[in-house]
Amino acid sequence: MKKELLMASALVSTLGAASVAEAVTATTSGSLKLGQEFDSPDSGTDTNSNISNTNFSVSLSETTDGGTTISSSFMLTNESSGAPDDDNAIKLTFSDGSALELLNAGNASGTHAVAVPGAAGEQGVAGTTTANAPTGLAFGAASTALGVEWHSAADFMMDGLKVSASFSTDDGAANTATANVDSSWGIGATYVTTAGDSTVTIGAGVADSESGKTGTELTSERSGMHVGISAVTGDLTVAVGFADGDTVADAGAIGTSTNSPANTQVDGSVMKAGISYVSGDITLAIGATSGEAKDSTTSGVAGLTDDAHDSVGASVTYAVASGVSAIIGYTSVDIQDEGATSNTGGSAWYVGATMSF
């Protein structure tokens, strides 16, 4: 409780010292995605479904007389998830370019994960599995809602370098049968330079956290590292990233085996690579992901065989008009669960359009 009161006091005093102006500038953005997805699982019946995703976001910002910008945002509607997105931080951007995020700040390690090109579209292979191989570079980064994240100004200590650090403490949420993050920290950095005609970006991060389940701390929590590099040469972007660490998964009622129980600790790694090329109004993209992991019980009984998730996807996006794009995308997924081929893989196509403002 003492930590929570100290953080709340810091938030109030920081905002009070900033001398907030009476008016706030609001800007809006949103998108509408309409299309058809065709799913072909390795087993079962081929299906197709209509995709209709909409969102409407509001960004709020104002600058004080002292030069500090106070900003935040919220998503008014998000029909793809069925609920508003209100987990946004209050961000203070200072006159020197540094920034501080208060509450819902996230983990600084994930902030600096390099963006790897991949297939556009809403295609996805449906299926339920206890395989827990990771697919994202920031899978080891965790945080609670009661956290802060600091960002340096550009060219921190050297040209092209930006760094971030974050910390979150126990938000008071009860540790139930599903593992819950109690605290976390993270550090990340991004370095941008040039090499000939290319702009090269290197991103890296490390994170750690503590988690509990029904009053017991786990033997291994969400933690890990990631590193990635991207190069942009004219209209061509090439990127690759690697991450290694631990995470926690909840397989629910389908987790029945010793090595894939309902609640699992996952020791995994993932490699991602992608290429995108813009030619006039057309953007071509292709991406691949290869993840592997061993999962174990939350009491530390280690898994003996690997889970794996391998996917490749490609897309063609055509800019029909300003803010309007037509998309054709394809993704193929192969999944292994406990060393055996899972029937939850397959392939999927997507044909649709996006309108955004």
Q: Is 4 helix (H, G, I), strand (E, B) or coil?
A: helix
Name the amino acid, one letter, at 51. Answer: I
Task: Return the CATH number at 46.
Answer: 2.40.160.10
Name the amino acid, one letter, at 184. Answer: S
What is residue 304's predicted lDDT score, i.e. its pLDDT?
A: 65
Average pLDDT score, the chain: 84
Domain that holds residue 109: 2-28+36-356
Q: Is 49 helix (H, G, I), strand (E, B) or coil?
A: strand
What is residue 300's predicted lDDT score, i.e. its pLDDT?
A: 56
Helix/strand/coil percent split, the chain, to 5: 5, 55, 35
How many domains does the chain fold into? 1
What is residue 23's predicted lDDT score, i.e. its pLDDT?
A: 73
What is residue 12's predicted lDDT score, i.e. its pLDDT?
A: 45
What is residue 8's predicted lDDT score, i.e. its pLDDT?
A: 45
User: pTM for the full model?
Assistant: 0.82
Helix then strand count (H, E) for the chain reads 2, 18
What is residue 280's predicted lDDT score, i.e. its pLDDT?
A: 95
Query: b/e per residue, 318-341, with b = 16+ CB within 10 A?
Result: eeeeeeebbbbbbbbbbbbbbeee
Residues in the chain predicted with pLDDT less than 50, given as ranges, are: 1-14, 16-21, 81-82, 84, 253-255, 258
**CA distances (Å), 265 to each of 30, 58, 106, 112, 296, in order?**
37, 37, 21, 24, 5
Q: Is 118 helix (H, G, I), strand (E, B) or coil?
A: coil
